[in-house]
Amino acid sequence: MADTVWWKSGTVYQVYPRSFQDSDGDGIGDLRGITRRLDYLAWLGVDAVWISPFYPSPMADFGYDVADYCGVDPLFGTLEDFDALVAEAHFRRLKVILDFVPNHTSIAHPWFVDSRASRTSPKRNWYIWRDPAPDGGPPNNWISNFGGPAWSRDAATGQYYYHAFLREQPDLNWRNPEVRAAMHDVLRFWLDRGVDGFRVDVIWHLMKDEGFRDNPANPGFTSGQAEINRFTQVYSADRPEIFDVIAEMRAVLAPYGDRVLIGEIYLPVERLVAYYGADLAGVDLPFNFQLIQTPWNARSVAELVVAYEDALPPGGWPNWVLGNHDQPRIAARVGAAQASIAAMLLLTLRGTPTLYYGDEIGLAHVPIPPDRVQDPWERNEPGHGRDPERTPMQWDDSPNAGFSVGEPWLPLSADAVARNVELQCDDARSLLTLYRRLLRLRRDYTALSTGGFRSLPSSNAFVFAYERHDADTTLRILLNFSASPQTVSDTGAYGGAWTVLLSTHTDRASSLHANDLVLEANEGLMLIRGWS
């Protein structure tokens, strides 16, 4: 893999800093806490740590409302703490990826304070200001992703400003060259401090329709869906001009060597892959969330994987995401028994996988009492809150699971004493051990990390079977998506030619003697051709 760029062969691990490790006892995780746990990440076997926002912020959206792009909020530490984190990560051969939030700032950012001061402010055009509609209401029908209108009226100047998310998060005007230049300087600031790349928040939102036309009604909208789905966002997001913006970001990163540019993009496959750009001049990895949104059964997942592989542009490198800070936990979606299948799927498909902290120990849905709710989306639209997937990491069976000596900002899971890193790291049958073994196999076999992919036909509707291969090795993966044993008989002979390399069921024998293979309930199996 010496000639393979690191972000193709490696794995990414997302840390939500508020919830990973608290070092000062205030119940909120911080940068020093992350540094303390870098040995764990190295032991686990990941290659890069992606850190969600830690910038100075009023915390209306927990750091995604940025008041200073070139600093660290005191809640999380100092710039010196960040520099130490990068140095310690690099010492352990771990890359550091930052969350870059260019679509919007906080209303407390000096740029916006200046912008809203008057209609003639030099920073007025740094944000999106519009006159009211003829009836005095919002300029168009665009809706906030967190519910309600995406426009807020400023009484002092009589105009509305646009915010795709909270009213405390006004959108920047990326049609303004001064905005682009300022944000490019932000990228350089962090690149000069040694970061290895950026995950760009809501990148498909950066450019808006120049005429601010109304979005069309969504004919598929049903009650119970988030309000943002009432309209199809054809004018408020995913505009063709976005590719010029991405090209300029890439130009900023280019002098720094093998830095990665990842785009957060919640779009269908055919639009998602467009973000690789013409001649792969777009983002390196348009985040692929399709597994999160696809029904959890073998046929649906297999069809998705093949469709995604077929849609990739020549040379486009795939990637897969099964969990993050905005989506319900893997174990909450697929169930505890299928969490091991999810792990094997994520870490054996072709492409770069991204893991979310806590999924490796099977953290599931954590109920949040009404008086402990933190997420502003939950307050705006009950039932859509993201707090359950942001609860603290559970390290051991000590008070507060080793996360903090103070009361954690969100509650722990009820089974924290039994579900934690310390307990699982010594258990050969644990989910954590499975993750670690899978990550080790990705390093041992280039067939898994950078090899080819071939879907295998199967008449068993409960089993997804595929191969990973390179010039030296062929691996076969079979995943039973059901809670009952399943026989696989039509993907080739197994007796003698194949040996078990890994099973999610640790009591599986290593040798095979029959042409028909029986997968146990909820079993994932990795076979190697001719190995013994």
Asked if residue 516 is part of any domain, the answer here is yes
CATH number of the domain bearing residue 60? 3.20.20.80
For residue 225, tell me if it sits in a domain. no
CA 190/CA 185 separation, integer angstroms: 9
What does the alpha-carbon distance between residue 321 and residue 288 come to, in Å, rounded to a whole number?
Answer: 6
Residue partners of 372: CB distance under 8 A and separation at least 6 = 387, 410, 411
Distances, alpha carbon 97 to alpha carbons 47, 191, 200, 315, 431, in Å: 11, 10, 10, 23, 26
Whether 457 and 498 map to the same domain: the answer is yes
More confident residue, 529 or 388: 388
Q: What is the pLDDT of residue 384?
A: 82
Same domain, 370 and 424: yes
- Assess if residue 113 is contained within a domain: no
pLDDT given at position 355: 98
Which residues on adjacent β-strands are paired with residue 320?
353
pLDDT per residue over 21-34, tens digit each? 999 999 999 999 99
Q: And the tokens for 443?
A: 């390093």
In a shared domain, residues 343 and 365: yes
Beta-carbon contacts of 164 under 8 Å, excluding residues fewer than 6 positions away, are 103, 104, 142, 144, 145, 150, 171, 202, 205, 236, 237
- List pLDDT tens digits, range 342-392: 999 999 999 999 999 999 999 999 999 999 999 988 888 888 899 999 999
Assign residue 471 the CATH number of its domain.
2.60.40.1180
Residue count of the chain, please give it.
532
Same-domain pairing of 334 and 414 = yes
Q: Is pLDDT above 90 for 490?
A: no
pLDDT at 407: 97
Q: How far apart are CA 442 and CA 428, in angstroms?
A: 19
Please say if the pLDDT value at position 529 is more than 90. no
Give one DSSP letter per residue of 151-219, joined into a string: EEE-TTTS-EEE-SS-TTSPBB-TTSHHHHHHHHHHHHHHHTTT--EEEETTGGGS---TT-PPPPB-T
**165 within some domain:** no
Domain check: are 434 and 473 in the same one? Answer: no
Per-residue pLDDT tens over the stretch 456-487? 988 799 999 999 999 999 999 999 999 999 99
Tell me, what's the pLDDT at 2? 44
Q: Same domain, yes or no, for 466 and 500? A: yes
Half-sphere exposure of 143 (CA within 13 A, CB side): 18
Q: Is residue 93 part of a domain?
A: yes
User: Helix, strand, or coil here: 501?
Assistant: strand
Full residue range of the structural domain in which residue 247 is found: 6-104+176-208+236-376+393-440
Residue 182, domain member (yes or no): yes
pLDDT in tens, 22-65: 999 999 999 999 999 999 999 999 999 999 999 999 999 999 99
Catalytic residue numbers?
A: 201, 264
Say yes or no: 352 and 480 in one domain: no
State whether 189 and 322 are in the same domain.
yes
Assess whether 416 and 314 both reside in one domain: yes
As a whole number of Å, the CA-based R_g of the chain is 24
**CB contact at 8 A, 331 and 348:** no
φ, ψ dihedrals at 93, nearest 5°: 60, 35
Q: What are the backbone angles phi and psi of residue 161, rounded to the nearest 5°?
A: -110, 150
Phi, psi dihedrals of residue 184, rounded to the nearest 5°: -65, -35
Please count the structural domains in the chain.
2
| 120 falls within a domain | no
Q: Tell me, yes or no, whether 413 and 464 share the same domain.
A: no
Same domain for 421 and 461 = no
Tell me: the pLDDT tens digits for 294-339? 999 999 999 999 999 999 999 999 999 999 999 999 999 999 999 9
**In a shared domain, residues 281 and 414:** yes
Reduce the secondary structure of 204-247 to three states and give it as a string: HHCCCCCCCCCCCECCCCCCCCCHHHHECCCCCCCCCCHHHHHH
Q: Residue 173: name the closest of 183, 185, 186 by CA.
A: 183
Residue 502 lies inside a defined structural domain of this protein: yes
Cβ neighbours of residue 18 under 8 Å, at least 6 residues apart? 28, 29, 62, 63, 390, 409
Chain mean pLDDT for the chain:
95
What integer pLDDT is reported at residue 3 of this predicted model? 60
Strand partners, 96: 49
- Mean pLDDT (whole number) for 181-197: 98
